[in-house]
Amino acid sequence: MNRKQILLSILLILVALSWAGSFVVVKDTVDKVDAIDIGFLRFVVAAPIMFVVFLFTKNKKPIPKKEFPSLIILGLTGVTLLYIFQFVGIDLTTASTSSILINTNVVFIAILSAVFLKEKFSKKKVFGVSLSFVGVSTIVFAQINNENIVFSDAFMLGCIFILLSAFFWAVYSIIGKRLLKTYGAIEVTTYAFILGIIFYIPFVISDIFESVQKIPVKGWISIFYLGVVCSVFGYVAWYYALKNTDASKAAVYLTLIPMFTIILSFVFLNEIPAPFFLVGAILIMVGVYQTQKS
């Protein structure tokens, strides 16, 4: 590996680590701030910074009005619905469970690509998708039987919410893939962030002002971590890496997120995974890798 490749690898590892940290931070914060409010405030912090990045981006290409319907879908699926379901799902489950289940977005992307983009669904992809869903079932079963977790309908609902969040990211990726053929990633992301905040408002308008007044310092630190580190740094660094290396190579680093989350959850939240949980995690990561590779 040359120097540039080493630096890109370090950058992608940092991206994976920062995104893994988001699951732990949200789980640690939902007892202080409502999960939906956390998602909204995350982008209230991130959107203005991303807009500044957009202003200083060279050779940017304005997105015309004809693409507005697609941008609306991006805002809804990539910001509003994605994080409402993800953060509520984290609240109802565990950080480690959520980070594993969210990784199924690659599986959903493969399925939607075959349906809507007519991409070839090879036997390797079928195997990868099947393996991932076996992994999902194993994780849910393992956590149900984990003595450290009191199973309830809320836990199962949380798992469903996380899977829905993964699905919305897949929709965002499919729509975004078409736009990125013509427009820059920073432009598309900035529009998605701003529209996502607007669509978030009906979900938080009734209590956000009261909620903001009650947020402790630790809660604000968490929100700024999510907004600055996970959203701005994460997205900008990710797209920089994609621009300078193959997407398939970059995507492999995302499989580090569950591993990092499990470690961070154990250190900071004292979440102890059951043995079958680790088996399910491995099945999903191998399935995701196989799907990406094919």
Q: What is the pLDDT of residues 25-65, one digit of tens each?
A: 999 999 999 999 999 999 999 999 999 999 988 888 889 99
Report the distance separating Cα 166 and Cα 294, nearest Å. 20
pLDDT in tens, 207-264: 999 999 999 999 999 999 999 999 999 988 887 887 777 665 676 677 778 878 888 9
Distance of alpha carbon 236 from the chain centroid: 14
Quick one: DSSP state of residue 259?
H
pLDDT in tens, 73-114: 999 999 999 999 999 999 998 898 898 888 788 778 778 877
pTM comes to: 0.85
pLDDT band (50, 70, 90) for residue 1: low
User: Which residues lie below 8 Å from residue 247, measured CB to CB, with a gap of 6+?
Assistant: none
User: Which residues lie below 8 Å from residue 49, measured CB to CB, with a gap of 6+?
Assistant: 227, 228, 232
- When the pLDDT of each residue in the chain is averaged and rounded to a whole number, the result is 86
Smallest CA-to-CA distance from 165 within 107, 112, 101 is with 101
pLDDT, residue 173, reads 85
pLDDT, residue 36, reads 96
Domain boundaries, the chain: 3-121+150-246+254-261
